[in-house]
Chains A and B, each alone.
Chain A
Amino acid sequence: QVQLQESGPGLVKPSQTLSLTCTVSGGSISSGGYYWSWFRQHTGEGLEWIGYIYNSGSTYYNPSLKSRVTISVDTFKNQCSLKVTSVTDADTAMYYCAGQIMVPHSAAFDVWGQGTMVTVSS
């Protein structure tokens, strides 16, 4: 059973880069057909899609964040990473990683991490 765990600094200074890692257990991140995605949720608000990476390395991003976001996969470490540059208060949120495991090519994500809270503050 695939499980995901996000990790990274809980506090990031304005203008710096937010870096988070999602560690995959119970399966290989490079198994065929898997999509890996990042989402975020501002406190008390709805979900926002950040972007996803297909196991071939193709990446797709939310147009509103595209210029600041990079998603990558490290197959050796079995991890998916998110980087958001030039952060501001507006990037303060709970960040979730998710995988498309049993619902291939569906634009849906059936396995989620528990989330990690990131606060942008000096």
Chain B
Amino acid sequence: QSALTQPPSASGSPGHSVTISCTGASSDVGGFQYVSWYQQHPGKAPKLMIYEVSKRPSGVPDRFSGSKSANTASLTVSGLQAEDEADYYCTSSAGGNTLLFGGGTKLTVL
């Protein structure tokens, strides 16, 4: 199993939008509606931001949205705020009840 591919970094100005991609294969991202996104601030545990491609857990701002096209999933953060600066990880089911992670994207709010 290969890890999902994310850009190592992304950036945007406050109030603007940024999209982070997560590319896999038909055996994982493309084959399941089980893509999730986690936010992790330095020294903290990950926090679930998006599950099942586009659903938001209770308490997650609607500035965070998810989508998927073929083998690539995306996380969009709109109306960027300083507190959005963090690492973001995507995961996907990969068959056989296994999970794959992306390498993570460091989001910088300029």
Query: A residues near B, CB below 8 A?
Result: 39, 46-49, 52, 60-64, 96, 98, 102-103, 106-110, 112-115
B98 touches A63 (CB 8 A): yes
Tell me whether chain A's interface is mostly helix, strand or loop, or mixed. loop
Closest 9 pairs between A and B when the two form their complex, measured CB to CB:
A108-B51, A107-B34, A108-B36, A60-B97, A112-B45, A49-B99, A46-B104, A110-B48, A106-B51
Per-position binary interface string of chain B over residues 77-97, scored 1 when its CB falls under 8 Å from any chain A CB and 0 otherwise: 000000000000101110011
Measured CA separation A112–B48 after assembly (Å):
9
Residues of A near B99 (CB, < 8 A) are 49, 52, 62, 107
Residues of B near A102 (CB, < 8 A) are 57-58
| Contact A47:B101 (CB < 8 A) given known A63-B1, A108-B36, A112-B47 | yes
B91 touches A108 (CB 8 A): yes
Residue B14 at the chain A interface, CB threshold 8 Å = no
The listed residue (B40, B48, B89) touching A103 by CB distance below 8 A is: B48
The listed residue (B1, B36, B93, B101) touching A46 by CB distance below 8 A is: B101
